[in-house]
Amino acid sequence: MKLRRSVSPHQLLFALLAGLCLLISGAEGQAQDQVVFRDGRTQEGKILGVANHNVQIQVGAGRVGFPLAQITNIRMEAPPEVAAAQAAYTAGDYAKALAATKALVDKYNGLPLPWARQAGGLLGDLYVELGRNKEAEAAYTLFEKTYGGQGGSARSAVGMARIAVEGKDYAAAKERLEPVITAALKEKNVPRGMGDAYSWAFTVMGQVNEAENDDAAALENYLRTVTLFPQSEKAVSIAQARADALRQEKKVTVP
């Protein structure tokens, strides 16, 4: 009969510490961000932000900057401010959402990542909600400059149109919206990142139509938001309320 070999307390402690080290090293490995360059090279480290069009990465104890123009892809988990900003926006706490969103844009603007692009557009939207239109214009201008080729032009155009409507400049709003609406109606599947822009485009155009006393066109555009482009809950809420009012109070029907 074989006797089971006893394990000393020191050996047990060593084994536990070794296992803990493996877990920690594994977690550190998973936490590493990765940058992929146009020539196929990759660089791992901790992305610290963007400064002067360079992605700043902590590699070991050092800090290295790489031009955004040389980067094709980035693998990085969204920071906690993303969820905080979205939760506050959904709850209608625009001041809190603005603080989180501005922090994201100040630190990460330019990263080719969906959450960074979303933050850039949301920043302008939040300034509009808070009535800070000059800051909204600056935010949309920066967003279009940074992400214009990734759907940013449409989002900026719709944002500028919202500002124009508040200023009762309906001709300027319509000029901004028409190219976006034309593109949206040609889409069979909404491209990633374009849903919010399309959703708001028809809602804002409905507001323009109402200002021009074209209630039938307004109703049609509001219903397009509700049925075809419901990606923005806020735009849908506004569009549904206005559609209900037009149908119930003015007895308007879709042409």
CATH number at residue 107: 1.25.40
The rounded distance, in Å, linking the Cα atoms of 42 and 53 is 18
For residues 69 and 169, state if they share a domain.
no
For residues 52 and 135, state if they share a domain.
no
The residue count for the chain: 255
The rounded distance, in Å, linking the Cα atoms of 50 and 81 is 16
The pLDDT tens digits of the residues spanning 96-144 come to: 999 999 999 999 999 999 999 999 999 999 999 999 999 999 999 999 9
Determine contact, residues 102/94, Cβ cutoff 8 Å: no
Q: Is 232 among the domain residues?
A: yes
Q: Is 5 among the domain residues?
A: no
> Which amino acid, one-letter code, is at 199?
S
Q: Is 27 among the domain residues?
A: no
Largest CA distance in the chain: 98
Q: Is 248 among the domain residues?
A: yes
The rounded distance, in Å, linking the Cα atoms of 235 and 208 is 14
> Which amino acid, one-letter code, is at 141?
T
Left (φ > 0), alpha (ψ -120 to 50) or beta: where does 168 sit?
A: left
Please state, in angstroms and as integers, the Cα–Cα distance from residue 173 to each residue in 79, 140, 228, following that order.
Answer: 35, 15, 21
For residues 141 and 155, state if they share a domain.
no
Q: Where are the alpha helices (DSSP H) in 51-151?
A: 80-90, 94-108, 114-129, 133-147
- Residue 68's domain comprises 33-76
**Closest to 60 (Cα-Cα) out of 42, 46, 41:** 46
For residues 178 and 254, state if they share a domain.
yes
Q: Which residues of the chain have pLDDT under 50?
A: 1-30
Determine the pLDDT at residue 193.
82
Determine the pLDDT at residue 107.
97
For residues 205 and 245, state if they share a domain.
yes
The count of other CB atoms within 10 Å of the CB of residue 86 is 18
For residues 135 and 190, state if they share a domain.
no
For residues 132 and 114, state if they share a domain.
yes
Q: How many domains does the chain have?
A: 3
H or E element that contains 178 = helix 170-186
Claim: this prediction has a pTM higher than 0.85: no
